[in-house]
Chains A and B, each alone.
Chain A
Amino acid sequence: MENVGALSILLAFCLAVFAIVAALVGKYTRRPYLAVSAERAVYVVWGLLTLASGILVTLLIQGDYRIAYVAAHTDKAMPAIYKFTAWWGGQQGSLLLWSWLLSTYCAVAVFTNRRKFRDMMPLVVAIMMTTLAFFVAMVAFVASPFQVLMAGKGIIDVGDGNGLSPLLQWWTMAIHPPFLYLGYVGFTVPFAFAMGSLLTHQPGEGWIHTTRRWAIVTWLFQSIGILLGMGWAYTVLGWGGYWGWDPVENASLMPWITATAFLHSVMMQEKKGMMKVWNMVLVSATFLLSILGTTLTRTGLVASVHAFAQSPVKPYFTSFVVGATVLVAIAVIMNLPYLRSEVKLESIVSRESSFLFNNLILLASCFAILWGTLFPVVMEAITGEKETIDAPYYNRVNVPIALFLIFLTGVGPLIAWRKSSLSSLKKAFMLPGAIGLAVIVGLAIAGIHDIAPLISFGLCAFVLATVTSEFWKGSRAIQAKEHIALPRAAFELTWRNTRRYGGYLVHVGIVIMFIGFTGSAFNKHETRNLGLNESVRFGRYDLKLLSVNDGETSDYRFSHAVIELSQNGKVIDQLDPEVRVYNNSQEQSSIVGIRRRLNEDVYVNYSGVLPDNSKAIFQMYLFPLVSCIWMGFWVLLFGTIVCLIPGKVRLQYARTEVVGFASAPATVQS
């Protein structure tokens, strides 16, 4: 069976190369049948990679321990679901998953555009298949998941495998990588359409209309992937952290930031024909950062808890990223005249200008992260001097940028398109500004004196007030006109323009998440040793150790503690932290006890016992407002789905501008 899998991958590679050649030859020698043949090859590549993936999953679930990948990432004791998720638990399998997902995206993109963009599609196919051919080549020739274990000239069956790291045997971690990959991989499609449009000088913004949903959906996948990773870290790692500024985490955040900037600035091109070069740069940067992220994860280029070990794919990935960057830069520079803006800016104080400014700040944040991630590698290569860049650097650099971004999130909707007068700005800013200030003053009186959290809470209130006033004004207008109840008017308002109001909901989600991030300024942590029936005071709570039970399953040994949580003498909850040691790997893993509430989480990690077995060691944490992060995510998810729903009113983005005046009435050009 493994031979069929390996052959499928090899054939997929050959057909991907055929698709590239056929698409380009078909396009430039005007042979449409070759271009069509290239498109059909895309479907066949998908079929072959689906077959290879199916075979790998079957081998994993059956437990065929002749296969090196199966022996390295599964064992007999693992539940079937984690045997399935071992598909992406190692280097080779995850590269196959990446290739399969990309081929699926390619097939869907080709199918949905089979009657459109006939002039551009061969190039789109060639670009997508070049990316796919690279990944399939890695799976076929460098990191094959179908290698068998050999002893001398014979194949051996080791009987049982090493198993998957216990830290990865968790439902959020089971689905976190596929979501991230869906996000990473997805941006290949908008990138290919953007490049195709650039190279064939397509009139209008066809590629934007076609790929807008792709961009939003892949951005959503990236968001879900990142949040799942954060949720996993919070629940599993035993220290309550959800973001450690690890290079691999940074690698997932950077394309998300550029994608966010792209989703904002693309509106300028769609509505006003502006910022064409910028959008081309952003969509390319997102694609290249996605590949860079994969490079960081797979090649061991930087030290990370997430990265796979040093692997032979490193030079190929590095060459691909560098080569692609150079080619994209050449393509953009050579076609600059095509990307000239159609409309000029009327005023600095305008929505257009604020979009550009927001992009600038987002990119600055992305650059700071990229710099912190790659600078130690560059520095060591040049000077031989090692340097560590950890959380203190990222927090110091990114917190001010993030605060400014929050401010811009609130300012954007208040500024009119083209030009805002001082009086209209004053009117728009008055109430939200006053609410933001009131929150700052109120919290300062309540005893919060740290400047960063105060500003953050104030800005969050400012943005929430801005968005609420936008909903309020629009809903009231509809209510007055149509004589319907306010909630129905708000629904109607959102449905009429799902993109705009869905976008506002996404902003609300982000702000709620920021409230959660700000709460971390007030985290509390203590490590205490407790004997049986011994109590300890922690914050407003009393924690009493009721029992400790040891036991064993087929997979691991465990020690389970029961802790009674009281407040003001009244028992309010019971926490059950557990520590496990897995038989196969001897790896230790924690199951933390968490009492989740909106205002704060009580989080207890059972770290083990003292050497004389007299007491158990517990790490206790209080995390104020951390639930806002997960709640904000649901709002973000809802808002993004709203954005994807077609609006009730079909939108026509008229390129409207005032071109002159007659005595009466003025002329409006559409």
Chain B
Amino acid sequence: MRARLQRSSLKLVLAFCAVVAALVAQDPTSFLTPDVLRVGDHLACRCSGCRNTVGNCPMLKCDFADPMRRRIYQMKMTGMSDQEIVNTFVREEGTVALAAPPTNTFGGLFTWVVPPVVLILGFFVYSAWVRRNRKAPEPISAADQANLERFRDQIDGELDE
């Protein structure tokens, strides 16, 4: 039990030292670890209308993305999972922190659902239009069918030109 406690304390101290070392260093590239970029891809960069995520914002010294990356880096060092980090930002700032609307809120779900629903409605309108504007086929004999095909080719030719 005591040994386990010692090991945990050591881990904590090491994590703390790593965080302090990273924060002291001003090199913005030191925070661009795969972990940070992966988590950052779920979060919106909101520097003056930038439409990138915190993960792929190209400005290394971005006023918004750089501090966020540092915080994500710290949180990762303390052992938080990706989801826990994302949830922390959402708790602090609301769903505006997310790069894409969430599916667990009314507004977010509404955003996702409406375009496909409109597309499906469009299909219905399309089929209704086609049904209403479709000419009923007239029964014709086999001989006339041959004539019809011949003249259809001619009409198609005229329309294509």
Contacts and interface: CB of A to CB of B under 8 A. Distances in A.
A443 interface: no
B26 interface: yes
B155 A387 contact: no
Interface of B: 26-29, 32, 41, 44, 46, 48-53, 56, 58, 60-61, 94-101, 107-108, 110-112, 114-115, 118-119, 122-123, 126, 129-130, 133-135, 137, 140, 143-144, 147-148, 150-152, 154-156, 158-161
Interface stretch (A31-39, A83-91, A328-336, A364-372): A364-372
A387 B101 contact: yes
Contacts of B159: 271-272, 351, 417, 653, 656
B97 to A, nearest CB: 8
Given A345-B130, A385-B94, A392-B99, A397 B115 contact: yes
Given A391-B51, A392-B99, A393-B111, A416 B156 contact: yes
Given A345-B135, A364-B119, A417-B155, A387 B111 contact: yes
Contacts of A167: none
A617 B41 CA distance: 22
Interface stretch (A56-64, A212-220, A252-260, A300-308): A300-308
Interface string A524-540: 01011100000000000
B119 A649 contact: no
Contact of A668 (B46, B100, B112, B154): B154
A483 interface: no
A388 B49 contact: no
B46 A305 contact: no
Nearest to A357: B126
Contacts of A237: 58
A417 B156 CA distance: 6
Contacts of B28: 617
Closest 9 CB pairs of A and B: A239-B58, A344-B135, A386-B96, A392-B100, A368-B115, A388-B44, A305-B49, A364-B119, A244-B51
A303 B134 CA distance: 47
A381 B39 CA distance: 30
Contacts of A528: 29
Given A356-B126, A392-B100, A418-B155, 19 more contacts: A244-B50, A245-B51, A271-B159, A303-B49, A345-B134, A356-B129, A356-B130, A375-B114, A386-B95, A388-B44, A388-B46, A390-B44, A393-B111, A418-B156, A610-B27, A654-B158, A658-B148, A658-B155, A668-B155
A666 B147 contact: yes
A372 B159 CA distance: 39
B126 A529 contact: no
A371 B49 contact: no
Nearest to A650: B161
Interface string A203-238: 000000000000000000000000000000000011
Nearest to A528: B29
A391 B99 contact: yes
B108 A387 contact: yes
B99 A390 contact: yes
A389 interface: yes
Interface in A336-389: 341, 344-348, 351, 353, 356-357, 360-361, 363-364, 367-368, 371-372, 375, 379, 383, 385-389
B100 to A, nearest CB: 4
29 contacts: A241-B52, A244-B51, A272-B159, A303-B49, A346-B137, A360-B123, A363-B122, A364-B122, A375-B110, A383-B107, A385-B95, A387-B107, A388-B44, A388-B95, A389-B100, A390-B100, A393-B100, A397-B115, A417-B155, A417-B156, A417-B159, A497-B160, A497-B161, A605-B58, A611-B26, A617-B28, A617-B60, A664-B147, A665-B147
A76 interface: no
Contact of A417 (B26, B32, B160): B160
Nearest to A661: B144
B50 to A, nearest CB: 6
Contact of A304 (B49, B100, B126, B147): B49
Nearest to B121: A364
B94 A390 contact: no
A305 to B, nearest CB: 4
A614 to B, nearest CB: 10
A337 to B, nearest CB: 15
Nearest to A306: B49
A666 B95 contact: no
Contacts of A555: none
